[in-house]
Structure 1
C-alpha cells in the first residue's frame, strides 16, 4: 500500500511565471531520464523482485521508487506554478494573472512562449510529456531481472538525470524553477550513492566502469545549502511498519567521497502543501459552477473530519 501525506517534499519558492522554464522542466518530468521514468523503473523492479535473501536490496528499490512518486508531484506542481503564475507575482498584469486585462485575449500568451499544450490541453498544468511535447512511454522502463544489471542501469539513470538537471539549472534564473531543480540535483546524488553502495555490497567495482559525472553542482547556492544539510547522504524507506531492511545496504562511507556517512530515515518532514490552485475562468476550469464549488467544499470538510481517524488500520482498531 502507498500513503499520501499532504506535504510537499521541498518548498517551491515563489517567483514570476515563466512558461519557457516550465517547458524545459517537462524534460525532467516526462523525458527519457525524468522523474516519471525513475519512479516507474524502480517500482517495477521492486514489484518483480525475486530472492528473499536479497530483501535489503528490494527494500532499497522500494524506498527510492516511492520517493520518486513525491518527485513527480514536486516537479509537476512546479511546472503548473511556472505556467499559472505564483501567488506573489508582482510583474505587469498579463493574461496569466488577470485574464482579459486591457482587452487582451485571455489565452494569447499561449501563442508566444513555452508549450502550447500547457494551455490548450493541460489548462495551465503539467503534462506527462518531455520538453518536445512527446508523450512519456513505458518503453523507457528497464528491468532485466538481474540485480547487478538493474543496479548498474539505475546508477547510470540517476547520473544522467542529475547531469540534465544541472543543465536545467543553468538555463533559468527563475527562483521557482531553481528551488525544485536544486533539490532534485541533491536527491539524485543520494540515489547515486544508494545504487553505488548496493553495487559495492555485491562486490561490483562500479567506479572503474561508470564514474559519477563531475557536475560540480555544489557551486549552485541552493544546492550547496542542501549539501550542508547532508541531504545527499540520507535515504528514505517510506516503510510505515518499519520493516524495511534498506539500511543494511545504505550505510557506511558515502560513495561520493565527501566525508559523509550514509543513513536511512522513514521519511522527510516535508513542507506545508501549497494548496489548490486558483480558478482559471479562461480555461473553463473549476469554479465556474457554484454547485460544483459547494461539492468541493463539502468534500473538504469531510476530509477534515476524517483526519482524526488512525493513520494505520481501520477506524476504532
Structure 2
C-alpha cells in the first residue's frame, strides 16, 4: 500500500513564472530518463521481483521507486508553478475574459512565443506527461529484465543519465524555482546512483570507481552544495511503515561516490515541507468552485449523508 502525506518532499522556491524553464523541466518529468520513467521502472521491478533470499535488493528498489513517486509530484508541481500566472495579467472575477489585463497584456499571449503551447491549450498552465518536445511518455521506456545484475546496471545508467540532463537544465536557466527543484533532484539522483552501485558492489561488480556520473563539480551550484553539506547524497529512505525493509543491509558503508561519506538507510522518510495549492486561473477558464457548483456539491453531500444514515443510523456530527 502507499500513503500520501500532505507535504512535498522538498520545498518549491518562490519566484517568477518561466514557461521556457517549465518546458525544459518536462524532459526531467516525462522524458526517456525522467522521473516518470524511474518511478515506473523501479516499481515494476519491485512488483515482478522473484527470490525471497534477495529481499534486501527488492526492498532497496522498492524504496527508491516509492521515493520517485514524490519526485514526480515535486517536478510536476514545479512545472505548474513556473507556468502559473501570465505576466502583467491581474484578472478579477468581474472582468470580461476577452479583455486585455493590466498593462495591456492579453492574458495568455506568453503562450505564443515561449515554452510549450500545449501547457496552455490542454494543460491549464500545468505539467503534462510528455517530454520537452511534446512526445507522450511511453511505457516502452521501462526496463525490467528479471535479471538482478542487469536491472541494477540499467538503473545506474538511468539515474546517471537523469542526473546529467538535470545538470544541463540547471545551466539553461537562472530561475530560482527551477534551480531549487533541480538541485534537490540532482543530489537525490546521486543518492540513487550510490544505492544501485552499492548493490552491484555487493554482487562482486567493481562499479564504484566510475561514480558519480557525471563527474561534475556539483559544489559550484550553490543550491546543490547546501544539500551535499547535509549529506543528502548518502541517505536512502525506506518509506516502510512496518519497519520490515532490509535495504539497509545493502545501503551502508563508504559511499561509492568516494566523497568520504557513509551511506545510511536508517530513516523512514524525509520530513517534507508543507504543500500549497495555486490560486485559480481565470484566463484558463478553470475558476475552481463557483457558487452554483458549491451548492450542487453541498446538496450531493447531504444526499450521500442521508443514505449512510439510512443504513447505519445518525453519525456523530449529525446527532
Q: What is the TM-score normalised by the length of structure 1? A: 0.87
Over aligned residues, Cα RMSD in angstroms?
Answer: 2.3
1:59-138 equivalences in 2 (<5 Å): 59-85=59-85, 93-94=88-89, 100-102=100-102, 103-138=104-139
**1:151 to partner: Cα distance:** 0.3
**1:144 to partner: Cα distance:** 0.6
Partner Cα distance (1:21, 1:297) in 2: 40
Partner Cα distance (2:297, 2:76) in 1: 22
Partner Cα distance (2:196, 2:184) in 1: 19
Q: Are the aligned partners of 2:193 and 2:212 in contact in 1 as well (CA < 8 Å)?
A: no
Partner Cα distance (2:193, 2:91) in 1: 38
**1:209 to partner: Cα distance:** 7.3
1:250-265 equivalences in 2 (<5 Å): 250-264=251-265, 265=267
Partner Cα distance (1:122, 1:77) in 2: 13
- Residue in 2 that maps onto 1:13: 13
- Residue in 1 that maps onto 2:247: 246
Deviations 1:109-132 (A, max 9, x none): 211110000000000000000000
Q: Are the aligned partners of 2:280 and 2:288 in contact in 1 as well (CA < 8 Å)?
A: yes
**1:205 to partner: Cα distance:** 1.3
Partner Cα distance (1:95, 1:19) in 2: 18
Return closer, same or farther for 1:29/1:94 CA change in 2, 3 Å cut-off: same
Deviations 1:197-243 (A, max 9, x none): 00011111124678732122221000000000000000010001111
Which blocks of at least 5 consecutive residues in structure 2 are unaligned?
A: 301-319
Q: Are the aligned partners of 2:28 and 2:162 in contact in 1 as well (CA < 8 Å)?
A: yes
Q: Are the aligned partners of 1:152 and 1:206 in contact in 2 as well (CA < 8 Å)?
A: no
1:290-301 equivalences in 2 (<5 Å): 290-293=291-294
Deviations 1:237-296 (A, max 9, x none): 00011110000000011101111111111000011112x211112211142632334677
Secondary structure of 1:236's counterpart equals: coil
1:1-317 equivalences in 2 (<5 Å): 1-85=1-85, 93-94=88-89, 100-102=100-102, 103-207=104-208, 212-264=213-265, 265-274=267-276, 276-287=277-288, 289-293=290-294
Return closer, same or farther for 1:294/1:168 CA change in 2, 3 Å cut-off: farther
Q: Are the aligned partners of 1:237 and 1:244 in contact in 2 as well (CA < 8 Å)?
A: yes
Partner Cα distance (2:252, 2:208) in 1: 18
Partner Cα distance (2:108, 2:55) in 1: 52
Partner Cα distance (2:181, 2:250) in 1: 28
**1:28 to partner: Cα distance:** 0.2
Secondary structure of 1:235's counterpart equals: coil
Larger Rg: 2
Partner Cα distance (1:171, 1:297) in 2: 47
Secondary structure of 2:236's counterpart equals: strand
Secondary structure of 2:257's counterpart equals: coil
**1:106 to partner: Cα distance:** 2.2
Q: What is the TM-score normalised by the length of structure 2? A: 0.87
Return closer, same or farther for 1:233/1:107 CA change in 2, 3 Å cut-off: same
Return closer, same or farther for 1:121/1:248 CA change in 2, 3 Å cut-off: same
Which blocks of at least 5 consecutive residues in structure 1 are unaligned?
A: 86-90, 300-317
